[in-house]
């Protein structure tokens, strides 16, 4: 089922979450091929953008190759800095959605920078930031939040109302507190409470590990879309499976070993396209363990991959593994 973020039509209800070090243009291209309706970038420092930091700006190199809507997520604690960053980014890249991160729980973002989920402690500041960014750009502005700073300050509904009033056109919510991090269980009731109190689209996030979780979240909360993150590591196929199941109940076949390995190689080639070889090889080493999860006799190939330094060698190892793979039949 389609929904809209401002004037942007999203073709289905499946969204790739912003994941640091993961949701780069290469992985977003894979997500597009897997039928995601919307993808979020990893969080981008607004301070680094206004300082014209090359490493930061290069994080977005390649988003012009993505043919589905992309939400570029920025973080910071100063309204003027965030506004200027949004202005710069929309001039440099074909960006139609700017997302403001108010959910990241990691200390270097919250404690040191006073941004991410630390912003949930100051409603007035939230309003100032969102309204300032809205005024600074023609892009659609969205916000991603958590349920609150800790269990004693659950204020997701108040925050959601505030960002809507400030001009945000959608909100994504991960219903864990900053204090929880990624532990415990996501409280989907908070997503429902937010949905019942705002008129903008609500994207639910947290604990979606299967197509059934995705459907259950929409049924229980009424949210407009589901955002899937860590469950996509090595398994971007979950995006297309969820899209099909949410559309009409279709249950797609699981990816076989050939598709898993071919997708890993495709992912690596995209990393090479947007990065130097050394960086691409190092990043892909982390992804490959996820892609090979569930396959048999992978210890040897994993050991080989830890020593790989060239793209040719990495691709050769994966192709060789695929060509000599033996499917173990269940007894």
Residues marked as catalytic: 104
Query: Locate tokens 């080989």: which residue?
Result: 304
Q: Alpha-carbon distance 125 to 317, whole Å? A: 52
Q: Which 3 state secondary structure label does DSSP give 39? A: strand
Phi and psi torsions of 119, nearest 5°:
-65, -20
Nearest to 80 by CA among 113, 41, 50: 50
CB atoms within 10 A of CB 139: 22
Phi and psi torsions of 290, nearest 5°:
-70, -45
Nearest to 27 by CA among 291, 295, 207: 291
313: Cα separation from own chain's centroid: 30
Q: Alpha-carbon distance 167 to 181, whole Å? A: 28
65: Cα separation from own chain's centroid: 17
Q: Facing residues of 145 across strands? A: 102, 173
Element (DSSP H or E) covering residue 3: strand 3-5
Q: Facing residues of 294 across strands? A: none
Nearest to 144 by CA among 184, 192, 201: 201
Q: Alpha-carbon distance 36 to 17, whole Å? A: 10
Contact 141, 127 (CB under 8 A): no
Residues 6+ apart with CB under 8 A from 4: 10, 201
Q: Facing residues of 70 across strands? A: 39
């Amino acid at each position: 089922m389609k929904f809209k973020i401002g004037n942007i039509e999203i073709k289905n209800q499946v969204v790739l979450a912003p994941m640091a070090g993961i949701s780069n243009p290469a992985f977003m291209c894979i997500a597009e091929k897997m039928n995601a309706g919307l993808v979020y970038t990893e969080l981008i420092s607004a301070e680094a953008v206004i300082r014209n930091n090359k490493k930061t700006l290069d994080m977005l190199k390649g988003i012009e190759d993505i043919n589905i809507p992309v939400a570029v997520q920025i973080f910071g604690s100063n309204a003027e800095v965030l506004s200027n960053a949004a202005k710069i980014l929309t001039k440099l890249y074909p960006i139609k959605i700017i997302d403001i991160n108010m959910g990241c729980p990691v200390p270097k973002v919250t404690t040191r920078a006073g941004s991410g989920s630390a912003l949930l402690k100051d409603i007035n500041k939230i309003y100032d930031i969102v309204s300032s960014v809205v005024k600074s750009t023609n892009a659609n502005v969205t916000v991603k939040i958590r349920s609150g700073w800790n269990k004693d300050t659950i204020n997701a509904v108040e925050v959601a109302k505030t960002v809507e009033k400030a001009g945000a056109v959608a909100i994504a919510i991960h219903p864990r507190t900053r204090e929880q991090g990624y532990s415990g269980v996501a409280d989907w009731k908070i997503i429902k409470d937010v949905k019942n109190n705002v008129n903008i689209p609500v994207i639910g996030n947290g604990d979606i590990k299967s197509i059934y979780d995705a459907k259950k979240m929409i049924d229980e909360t009424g949210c407009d879309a589901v955002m899937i993150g860590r469950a996509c590591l090595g398994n971007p196929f979950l995006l297309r499976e969820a899209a099909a199941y949410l559309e009409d109940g279709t249950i797609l076949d699981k990816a076989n070993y050939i598709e898993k390995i071919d997708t890993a190689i495709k992912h690596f080639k995209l990393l090479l396209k947007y990065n130097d070889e050394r960086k691409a090889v190092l990043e892909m080493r982390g992804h490959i363990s996820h892609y090979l999860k569930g396959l048999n006799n992978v210890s040897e190939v994993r050991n080989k991959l830890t020593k790989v330094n060239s793209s040719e060698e990495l691709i050769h190892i994966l192709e060789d593994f695929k060509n000599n793979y033996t499917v173990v039949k269940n007894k």
